Amino acid sequence: MAKPDNRADNVEKLQSSINNTIENQEEAEAYLSEHADEISPSEKQTIQEKNQRRERSLQGFQSEIQDESENQQNQ
């Protein structure tokens, strides 16, 4: 028998993921700022691409939070 879908803490988990993603994004930007002259162009590009993926993830997390909020209001 399947467990019932308990979505009570989904918003909290999503917010935690958002906070971690933002922290990682800021750390990567700080690293680039401090070490731009010391790292290879390919490493710089890799970090920038990763931050672009993080930005897309943040947008997805925000959309999921909105969905969760609407779901909680409809119950």
Instruction: Report in angstroms the alpha-carbon separations of 32 from 39, 51, 58, 72.
Output: 8, 11, 20, 40
More confident residue, 26 or 10: 26
Tell me the C-alpha distance between 11 and 61, whole Å. 9
Question: What's the pTM value of the predicted model, to 2 decimals?
Answer: 0.82
Q: For residue 7, what pLDDT band results from cuts at 50, 70 and 90?
A: confident
Residue 65 DSSP class: H
13-29 pLDDT tens trace: 999 999 999 999 999 99
Is pLDDT above 80 for 3? no
